[in-house]
Amino acid sequence: MRTVPSLCLLLGGLLAGCGHVPVTSLPKLSQIDIRTTQLTALRAGISLPAEIRPLPGSITMTMVALPREGGRHERKVVLEEVRDTKELAQLPSVAAPGRRLTVYRLSAADAARIGSFREEMFVGPHNSGNRGSIALTAEKACRLGELSGKPIPMTSYLKTSETQDYVLLTRDVDLAGAVRAAAPTVDLATAIPPCDALPEQPS
């Protein structure tokens, strides 16, 4: 039985959900099997207004295993930004004016780590019936200027060895509105601080 991942991108753990995956994306996403997908081929793309930047080390992937006899096991790793110019040059035209698309992948070490966990939890007759999911999370972001009070639309994409190209996961999810809805007392300017006010990040 195929184990189809649940896929979402969240900011700061404040979002209650990941919105609705477009119906047109479901056929391709249904092809993904976390038991066999090539982890080194996985790519996550995030399109945000150009003044909003995910912080380095803030994009994570969590693989969850739910054994048939009960319980929950997971492995969480940090995705690394794709900087290979050849790969980036082949990206589809998904970025719009005034927006910035950033692409992430598993490092070789983390792909091996997740692969070992996957084999332990999903491979073999004793694991038949185990369910699993993948969650992609954007945990921290910063801004280059002042927040205008307007929506902060985020669009996300996923590419795997099954899909072969980037599939739309969410379109224009309003981060500002979602943060306010999930945590009304949180100051948005604090949740998304100025980039120049943060400690310098390693390149």
pLDDT given at position 5: 38
Q: Are 151 and 180 in contact (CB under 8 A)?
A: no
Fill in the amino acid letter for 80.
Answer: E
Q: Tell me if residue 184 falls in helix, strand or coil.
A: coil
Secondary structure in 3-state letters for 2-68 = CCCCCCCCCECCCCCCCCCCCHHHHHHHCCCCCCCCCHHHCEEEEEEECCEEECCCCEEEEEEEECC
Q: Are 198 and 143 in contact (CB under 8 A)?
A: no
Going by the DSSP 8-state scheme, the letter that residue 194 receives in this structure is: B
pLDDT given at position 16: 33
Rounded to whole angstroms, the Cα distance separating 165 from 92 reads: 8
pLDDT given at position 38: 93
Sequence ranges of the domains in the chain: 23-186
Confidence band, pLDDT 50/70/90 cuts, at residue 1: very low
Q: Is the pLDDT of residue 124 over 80?
A: yes
pLDDT given at position 7: 40
Confidence band, pLDDT 50/70/90 cuts, at residue 3: very low
pLDDT digits (tens, 9 = 90+) for 14-63: 333 445 677 888 888 888 888 889 999 999 888 889 999 888 888 888 88
Phi, psi of 159 (to 5 degrees): -130, 130
Mean pLDDT throughout 65-78? 91
Q: Are 142 and 66 in contact (CB under 8 A)?
A: no
pLDDT given at position 92: 66
pLDDT digits (tens, 9 = 90+) for 130-159: 888 888 777 788 889 888 888 888 888 889
Nearest residue to 25 (alpha-carbon basis) of 195, 165, 178: 165
Q: For the whole model, what pTM was predicted?
A: 0.80
pLDDT digits (tens, 9 = 90+) for 89-120: 877 666 577 888 899 999 999 999 999 999 99
Q: State the distance between the two ends of the chain, measured CA to CA, in whole angstroms.
A: 42
